[in-house]
Each structure stands twice: as structure tokens, then as C-alpha cells.
Amino acid sequence: MGFGDPSGNYWLGNDLLEWLTAKTRYKLRFDLQQNGTGNWYYAEYSTFRVLSEADNYTLQVDGFSGNASADALGRWHNGRQFSTFDRDNDQHSSRNCAAHTRGGFWWGWYCGGCSVNGAHSTGRFHFQWYDLPGGGRLQLSRMWLQCK
């Protein structure tokens, strides 16, 4: 059903993402503001789809472009099922990545890579985009869907 504040930090909800991406072809864009420098980067994916709840909202993403320098979403999260603190669908053998980062996402065996729903942290990166020039820690991230 979605969660958060629709005028700020908000997640549409996986049922809506599945419904939208099953009906229409979308591309996905991330706008990423680097922590410390304030520099902006972007990553675009020409293909974006979220499968149904029966498939644990598996992510399908392809066609990376942008100046973010690394395909952090496709490399670490493509084909993964969505995990939350109470539905551990990641492939990490000893930890629930959603609980560890305090953010639901398409986690694999590694609780990192593209962590745009994670909490800000002074320790390990929980809000990051892997391999940004000058460091991956983020100040702000936005995800945008655009009809193709």
C-alpha cells in the first residue's frame, strides 16, 4: 500500500509498482546527491519491472546509463526478491539485510551496492550507491518512473 510521507520520503508500494510495470513499459531514473560534496549523479535504466507478490516482487532491471559510474542496482540487485524486516527474502545466510540497513529493498547476498532506502548511518554505509566518484555515501536519493 506504500508508506511514508507523500510530500517527501515515500515508497509507492510494491503492489502498485507491479501493477504499473506490468501494464506499461517504464524506465527508472535515480537522482543521487553525494554526502559531503553535494555533487549530483544519475543512473537510468531503460527497462524496469517489478513482478507480483507471488514472486516476492522480484526486480527486473536492465539498460544502465548515466554518470553514476557504476551499475549498482543491476549488478547487485537485479533478479532479487524484495525483503523487509519481517519478510527476509535476501540471500544473505546470516542476516536480514532489510533489518540491518533499516530499509526494505531487493537485497541479494550482500547488504550494500545500491542502498537508497537504508537509514543514514555514521558507521557502515546504509545509504549509498556503490562506486560513485569520490565515495558512495549519499545525502539524498530520488527514484523516478517514466513511461517509455
Residue 17 domain-assigned (yes or no):
yes
Residue 64 domain-assigned (yes or no):
yes
Residue 71 domain-assigned (yes or no):
yes
Arithmetic mean of pLDDT, 96-104: 86
CATH of the domain at 30: 3.90.215.10
Q: 83-111 burial, b if ≥16 CB within 10 A, otherwise e? A: bbeeebbbeeeeebbbbbbebbbbbbeeb
Q: Are 26 and 12 in contact (CB under 8 A)?
A: no
Counted domains in the chain? 1
The whole model's pTM is what?
0.88
pLDDT of residue 123: 54
Residue 3 domain-assigned (yes or no):
no
Residue 137 domain-assigned (yes or no):
yes
Per-residue model confidence as pLDDT tens digits over 13-48: 899 999 999 988 999 999 999 988 999 999 999 999
Per-residue model confidence as pLDDT tens digits over 120-138: 555 555 688 888 888 888 8
Q: What is the C-alpha to C-alpha distance for residues 96 and 82, in angstroms, rounded to an integer?
A: 12
Q: Specify the DSSP class assigned to residue 12.
A: -
In terms of average pLDDT, the best of 77-81, 92-96, 116-120 is: 77-81
Residue 5 domain-assigned (yes or no):
no
Q: What is the C-alpha to C-alpha distance for residues 44 and 26, in angstroms, rounded to an integer?
A: 11
**Residue 45 is part of which domain span?**
11-147
Q: What is the C-alpha to C-alpha distance for residues 76 and 112, in angstroms, rounded to an integer?
A: 8
Q: What is the C-alpha to C-alpha distance for residues 54 and 18, in angstroms, rounded to an integer?
A: 11
Residue 70 domain-assigned (yes or no):
yes
Name residue 93's amino acid: S
Residue 107 domain-assigned (yes or no):
yes
